[in-house]
Amino acid sequence: MTGSGLIQRRLFLFGCERSGTTLLQIMLSRHSDIFSTPETEFFRNTVGSRRGWLAKLGLATGKERNGLRKTCEAMRLADYPLRYRPSIFYGTTARTFLSYLDAQAQAEGRSIWLEKSPRHLFHVDVIRRYVDGVHFIHIFRRGEDVIGSILDRAQKYLGPDSRQHDVFDGVNRWNRAIAESAKFVGQPGHSFVHYESLVRRPDAVLDRLCRDIGIEFERAMTESGVYDSVISSSRPHLANSAAPITPPESKFERLVPLHQQERVRQALDMPLYEHLVDQFRFSR
């Protein structure tokens, strides 16, 4: 386990992509105690999908140098070659990464930092092993809306060969993320945010989340503003996340062919989603 005593809490925010992770990140970053950066995807880049067992055993995965390079590019840091020393132990790389975030947060006078990479959801065990003072925040959103947003992003920003043009690729992404988050319900150190409740009642949702984290809710968290520091220039599709909160249009009905819509709805794990909604939504 790693970390400086000056940092009180380290937050990891994740969920299925297009579920509101950037919106929630921006709102949390308005808190006077919280520092945040663009997506780093550090644990995804250094652990990957097939070598997690090595990191869980404390061993290097062979992805560290390239993973740190990508992370530093995302964080707009240029000095990683001077600070990283290769090691057979994964903890060396984790400490280097954490030292970057700790130093940046401390330079801003913040005692908490927030890292948001949606696919870190699948690396909770590794993160928990290497990060002191960690708290995980899961956000989940209705499947139809997530799929519509994934398709919209694919059409606007991704090439024609991207798998994300396939509506059932989106179904698989959403089902997998919902199932993974559900594993942690009731466990200490995990908070859950229902996206639709966040849009309808942001003050109430954020107040509860702040209490989970151990800080006071601040009114500035729900005020509109532009926060370029948490939106990477390589991700233009995230820019609208800083806009005032409004209920979204149905991209699902606009972008999914009518003859496919019912098949898609049947393929979504709605019983599990509704189970999460029943536990974490706020009434109107």
CB 146 within 8 A of CB 170: yes
pLDDT band for position 198 (50/70/90)?
very high
DSSP 111: S
pLDDT in tens, 97-133: 898 899 999 999 999 999 999 999 999 999 999 999 9
Q: What is the mean pLDDT of residues 195-212?
A: 96
In the chain the first and final C-alpha atoms are separated, in Å, by 42
The pLDDT assigned to 230 comes to 52
What CA–CA distances, in Å, run from 128 to 68, 101, 123, 151, 160?
19, 16, 9, 33, 38
Q: What is the mean pLDDT of residues 185-205?
A: 96
pLDDT in tens, 148-179: 999 999 899 888 878 888 999 999 999 999 99
CB 23 within 8 A of CB 8: no
Amino acid at residue number 37: T
* Phi, then psi, of 196 in degrees rounded to 5: -60, -35
Highest mean pLDDT among 50-54, 132-136, 229-233, 238-242: 132-136
Q: What is the mean pLDDT of residues 78-99?
A: 75
For the chain, give the mean pLDDT.
Answer: 86
What CA–CA distances, in Å, run from 266 to 211, 216, 274?
37, 41, 14
* Phi, then psi, of 223 in degrees rounded to 5: -90, 145
Amino acid at residue number 105: A
The pLDDT assigned to 201 comes to 94
The pLDDT assigned to 160 comes to 80
237: pLDDT strictly greater than 50? no
The interaxial angle of helices 167-182 and 258-267, nearest 10 deg, is 20
Q: How many residues does the chain have?
A: 284
Dihedral class, residue 154 (left if φ above 0, else alpha if ψ from -120 to 50, else beta): alpha
Q: What is the mean pLDDT of residues 197-204?
A: 95
Q: What is the mean pLDDT of residues 6-13?
A: 96
Assign a CATH topology to domain 9-39+112-280.
Answer: Rossmann fold (3.40.50)
The pLDDT assigned to 136 comes to 99
The pLDDT assigned to 240 comes to 54
Q: What is the mean pLDDT of residues 257-262?
A: 94
Determine what percent of the chain is predicted with pLDDT higher than 90. 61
pLDDT band for position 82 (50/70/90)?
very low
- The more confidently predicted of residues 236 and 195 is 195
The least confident of 33-47, 167-181, 204-218 is 33-47
- The more confidently predicted of residues 100 and 69 is 100
Q: For 79-201, where are the alpha helices, taking DSSP H only?
A: 80-83, 90-107, 124-130, 143-157, 167-182, 195-200
